[in-house]
Chain A
Amino acid sequence: MEINLLEQIVIPIIKILFIAHLLIIGVMAMIWSERRVSGWMQDRLGPNRVGPQGLLQPIADGIKFLFKEDLIPNHVDKPLYVLAPAMLLVPAMITIAVVPFGSSITIPGLENPILLQIADINIGILFILAITSLGVYGVVIGAWASNNKYSLLGGLRSSAQMISYELTLGLAIIGVLMLSSSLSLRTIAVEQGAYPWKWNFLIHFPAFLAFTTAMFAETNRLPFDLAEAEQELVAGYHTEYSSMKFAIFFMAEYMNMIVGSAVVVTLFLGGWHFFGLENVGGEGSILAGLISFAIFFIKTGIFLFVFIWVRWTLPRFRYDQLMNFGWKFLLPVTLTSIVVTGTLWVVVKENKQLWIGIGNVVAAFIVVAIVAGMLAMDNNSKSAVQSTPAAAPLRGLDAVE
């Protein structure tokens, strides 16, 4: 077996280094923009002293973290305690390997065009789901190894939440997969084309909302940050962590956000395509490659802004609300979306995408109405029983009030 050194080793390594560094710089940019945007939304300044507009603040933070004493408490389970931050960071980083961040560049003299993607594997989506499901270990192991009851509570909350919302995450993309009939992220992005009304977020609007919501839950962001609810659990699963280990937990969270946004952009928002710009520079030229990358970058950036925006818009869910929402609303909606998409795909002969889009929204409304009605009936019958506290073990907090 002959190995083409340049094409099979050098170029992939360059791509890997580029993306890995971009991700780390992206984390720094996110830390800065989260604080500045939060400041802007709350009508204050935010950090603006270190460097122009406070741009060097993340570097200052990083240096501070590095020089802090690396404290390992005596009561922890040392090997797992040290391993946990890495267990969270590694899955966050390797998910990006299958996400296409641009079209391809043809360079004369090379056999194949260079894909702007680290690995275009056939099972891209499954790879992402598999690696995402590993992320829960970092939280659970870290929480348990800390040997602290608040950490453990945070870890338990987080793992229950992640397992519940992983289902929605997986089911929400089935409709997308049905229409593109491929698991490769590149194919899915290419199938959507350049025009926004052909992107999956319109065809599968309920699934798009469900996927985005589930992604917020998977990244433990507000309004789903029960794992680290400061008012209840000190800091949740990373209470016992300090110095760079704490910083790694933090970095992993931001990386998850960036990678999650990139996945949403690829699956639902047309990837690197945008109308009017698809033919600039010609197929495979360096200019076209750069433009496609820029479009992808901007789309991901906009989505990351939504993350911060939501954080300051919605308050945190209560635990029973979280579970109710995941299991009683998101799951039925995504399941119906699969059935509706499949049925309409077979039944409708013309304008399939339009009818599937309409059908999905209508079905989602019906499902939400039915579930809400059932819950209301359930509550009515329960309020009669509520006088006996044992009848509502999960609503103990309400009873105290």
Chain B
Amino acid sequence: MEFTLKTFIFYGFALMTIASALAVVTVRNIVHAAFALMVTLFGVAGLYVFLQADFLAATQVIVYVGGILVLILFGVMMTSGRLEMRIHIERGQLLLGGGISLALLMLLLTVIANTPIWKNLTDDGTQLAPTTERIGQLILNEKFLLPFEVVSVLLLVALIGAALISRKEVRD
């Protein structure tokens, strides 16, 4: 395998993703964990760029890093402003989580072992076309218009429901 600048940056992103993902599950301070999760999600976005999935990469950052994680942080800060906020792990949770992780690892290893061509994956410099236009055509014009609209309505219902539940009732 030739070692170019591109592979160097790729391994940088991969290392960043894995290291911060480890930090998410090992760090005791909940805000530090949330911060590490941000680095992980950002690293995944970087990996998408290497797959030439430009739209997906940008959306990953907008939705997960810019939206969901901010809300998580927001929630943590609203519920507790103290620095000593710690995570307590029970033994039962440890066993359950470890079991699920182990099963997932086995599944992934099976997939990797059964993928015959992964050794041949070298960068041949192919530039794929930008994906945004194709995604837009598929969602709004061709195959997936109905599922897309159904999902939008579902999200709208969830949104209104959330607003209704979180709102303090004003009775007269």
Contact = CB atoms under 8 A, between A and B. Distances in A.
B103 interface: no
Interface in A342-357: none
A385 B172 CA distance: 6
B138 interface: no
Given A130-B61, A393-B168, A136 B70 contact: yes
Contacts of B58: 123, 126-127, 129-130
Q: How large is the interface on B (under 10, 10 to 19, 20 to 34, 35 or more residues)?
A: 20 to 34
Interface stretch (B8-16, B75-83, B104-112): B75-83
Interface of A: 1, 75, 77, 79-80, 121-123, 126-127, 129-134, 136-137, 140-141, 143-144, 147, 149, 152, 155-156, 159-160, 163, 166, 170, 183, 384-385, 391-393
B158 to A, nearest CB: 16
A122 B53 CA distance: 11
Contacts of A166: 66
Given A1-B125, A160-B74, A170-B62, 12 more contacts: A77-B83, A79-B32, A129-B62, A130-B58, A136-B70, A137-B35, A137-B38, A137-B73, A155-B77, A163-B67, A385-B172, A391-B170
Contacts of B59: 126, 130
Interface string B18-50: 000000000001011001001000000100000
A291 to B, nearest CB: 30
B67 A133 contact: yes
Contacts of A79: 32
A156 B61 contact: no
Contacts of A152: 77, 81
Given A123-B55, A152-B77, A391-B170, A133 B65 contact: yes
A61 B171 CA distance: 56
B168 A137 contact: no
Nearest to B29: A77
A152 B38 CA distance: 20
B54 A123 contact: yes
A245 B38 CA distance: 22
A126 B57 CA distance: 10
B141 interface: no
A39 B139 CA distance: 54
Given A77-B83, A140-B74, A134 B61 contact: yes
B97 interface: no
A144 B34 CA distance: 12
Contacts of A132: 66
A8 to B, nearest CB: 10
A144 B66 contact: no
B132 A144 contact: no
B74 A156 contact: yes
Contact of B31 (A80, A122, A160): A80
A254 to B, nearest CB: 22
B66 A130 contact: yes
B120 to A, nearest CB: 17
